[in-house]
Amino acid sequence: MHRVTIPIADDEITALHVGDHVSLTGVLTTARDAAHKFLVETYIQVDEPTQELSLYEELKGILKGGAIYHCGPVVAQDEDGAWRFIAAGPTTSIREEVYEPEVIEHFGVKAVIGKGGMGPNTLKANREHKAVYLSAIGGAASLIASAVKEVVTVFKKEEFGVPEAFWVIRVEDFPAVVTMDAHGRSIHAEVEAKSKERLAQLVAG
């Protein structure tokens, strides 16, 4: 088990390999389709950001050396106004393949967490910018929520809705497995290649 503290140093990332179990502690943010689209269109694919600059500075601080969790949480609000996570299972990551490489490069993200893996462009970004993809435990939303010790803040909840907002959370011993590393290996790509090979054998008779 690799115990990793956020923000994550490059040497910690390069020490990780496909198949390693990881326990994450620190502050990270959730981000799904709307959040990724917002990051790319507002801050990355422009000559210079001019909109929501205070949020930009906050997100840069959270994401530099940080982690993004592909998650649409189920949340509750206490009487004092504090938010808490009821369920926090991972959502399918491949939808963010169109955005993730640019986000990793621009913001210095070191870990992307989700389920199902990502594609060749994210794998390339991992290798070039020293990042990893971590698979969270599918079907264990309540268990993962227990690793969320505090909702630090939330951004864009009113505009994007609860599942798509940036939920900035402090986690302790968040469990995950490295399935795409910074050395060019992807369990997902390897499984797909083996499946195609087996299918070709079956078709050939």
Cβ within 8 Å of residue 103, ≥6 positions away: 36, 39, 40, 44, 63, 68, 109
Structure-block tokens of residue 127: 């290798």
CA-angle at 10, arms to 130 and 38, nearest 5°: 55
Say if CB 84 and CB 106 are below 8 A apart: no
Q: Which residues are catalytic?
A: 36
Give, as one character, the DSSP assignment of residue 81: S
- 2-204: what CATH class? alpha beta
On whether the CB atoms of residues 13 and 130 are closer than 8 A, the answer is yes
What secondary structure does DSSP assign to 58-76, as a single string? Answer: HHHHHHTT-EEE-B--EEE
**Domain spans in the chain, listed from the N-terminal domain onward:** 2-204
> What are 191's two structure tokens?
């499984």
Q: What is the pLDDT along the chain (205 residues), one digit of tens a residue?
A: 899 999 999 999 999 999 999 999 999 999 999 999 999 999 999 999 999 999 999 999 999 999 999 999 999 999 998 999 999 989 999 999 999 999 999 999 999 999 999 999 999 999 999 999 999 976 666 778 889 999 999 999 999 999 999 999 999 999 999 999 999 999 987 655 554 555 455 456 5
